[in-house]
Amino acid sequence: MGQLGKYLLEDGPIWQACKERAYRENPWFIPEFIEIASKQIAEKFLQPGLIEPWAHQYAIPDQPLRPHTIGLVMAGNIPLVGFHDLLCCFISGQKTTVKTSSKDDVLIKHLVSKMQEWDPETANLIGFADNLKGCDAYIATGSNNSSRYFEFYFGKYPNIIRKNRTSVAVLDGTETAQELDLLADDIQFYFGLGCRNITQIYVPKDYDFIPLLQALRKYEYFMDYHKYKHNFDYHLAILIMGNKYYMSNESLILTENIAAFSPVSQVHYAFYSDKEDLLLGLSNNPSIQCVVGREQTAFGQAQQPGLSDYADGVDTMQFLVSL
């Protein structure tokens, strides 16, 4: 896997061409965000000094007696979002049949093709299919709606089925300009489409929103992308027609709403009076992937998960080695 990490960091002409094709097929996958995702994978997942101790703790046998076939349904909300699941299957010694998302079909298949080029045996371990019948276990990521179908088809098998999740930030008003700058990344990386993106912020009464809106101005260039601008214009019009209070820096909208999930180009905020009660409630909320703030996930780290930061808090490797 170290060779794959090196390949990503070298950013050679073949990988560059692949990224350009992925962007052409999915305009949400702008080159900047593909680069961020691939660098994250190379530096946080594929370094030998990280991957070896992580894998060692699971006591994976050198040669499983009978590798299971894992049906892997990948999401496509951000570039290469399904790579960690694929990595877990590969490192655990299981065979994997992958159903990619139509939104992220190019990148993951290219990386697997490179793995198979360097080690032909990989072709016996990883394959792709549109229909995942006959697998021994399943890992499927999707929306709350698609999860019902996953549970219907895969429920009788060992499985991990993931639903919609999002992330929030808890602020106290004493954040530095640097922390707010990093929070802007947590909010706006990948246009806010990831489960680790901040879509709701909690603030004390009389919180001054101006510094945060100023920090978010570094993403004003998002308005150059028509899909993002369309979302911004649409949701702004809805608020105006509904006579709803909002704040904006002309590229992102802040509006008071208790819902944790917010649409692209919009972030919800809510006020709190007791921080400890708020954090306790968030820790028990199954829809929350990550909480950013003081003494929580550090500002700027929401989009920097490590190998042990499992989606939904379910240890994927433990699931795979215990089959």
What is the per-residue burial (b if ≥16 Cβ within 10 Å, else e) of 128-156?
eeeebeebebbbbbbeeebbeebeebbee
Among 132, 164, 196, the domain boundary falls at: 164
The pTM assigned to this predicted structure is 0.93
* CATH at residue 257: 3.40.309.10
Residue 65 confidence class, pLDDT cut points 50, 70, 90: low
- What's the whole-number mean pLDDT along residues 99-127? 95
Pair 35, 124 in one domain: yes
Pair 204, 130 in one domain: no
Provide the number of structural domains found in the chain: 2
Pair 174, 267 in one domain: yes
- 46-58 tens-digit pLDDT: 999 999 999 999 9
Q: Is residue 298 part of a domain?
A: no
Q: Is residue 67 part of a domain?
A: yes
Q: Is residue 308 part of a domain?
A: no
Name which of 92, 90, 101, 97 is nearest 127 in CA terms: 97
Tell whether the model's pLDDT for residue 203 goes beyond 80.
yes
**Full residue range of the structural domain in which residue 237 is found:** 166-293
Pair 8, 126 in one domain: yes
Instruction: Write the CB contacts of 46 (distance below 8 Å, at least 6 apart in sequence).
Output: 1, 2, 4, 5, 8
Pair 26, 131 in one domain: yes
Pair 68, 212 in one domain: no
Pair 159, 15 in one domain: yes
Tell whether the model's pLDDT for residue 67 goes beyond 90.
no
- Strands 159-162 and 247-248, by their bridges, are unpaired
- 235-274 tens-digit pLDDT: 999 999 999 999 999 999 999 999 999 999 999 999 999 9
Measured between alpha carbons, how far is residue 124 from residues 5, 69, 90, 117, 128 in Å? Answer: 21, 11, 11, 12, 11
Among 122, 147, 164, the domain boundary falls at: 164
* CATH at residue 37: 3.40.605.10
Among 135, 164, 193, the domain boundary falls at: 164
Pair 51, 35 in one domain: yes
Within 10 angstroms of residue 63's Cβ, the number of other Cβ atoms is 7
- What's the whole-number mean pLDDT along residues 166-185? 97
CB of 289 closer than 8 Å to CB of 196: yes
CB of 195 closer than 8 Å to CB of 311: yes
Pair 63, 202 in one domain: no
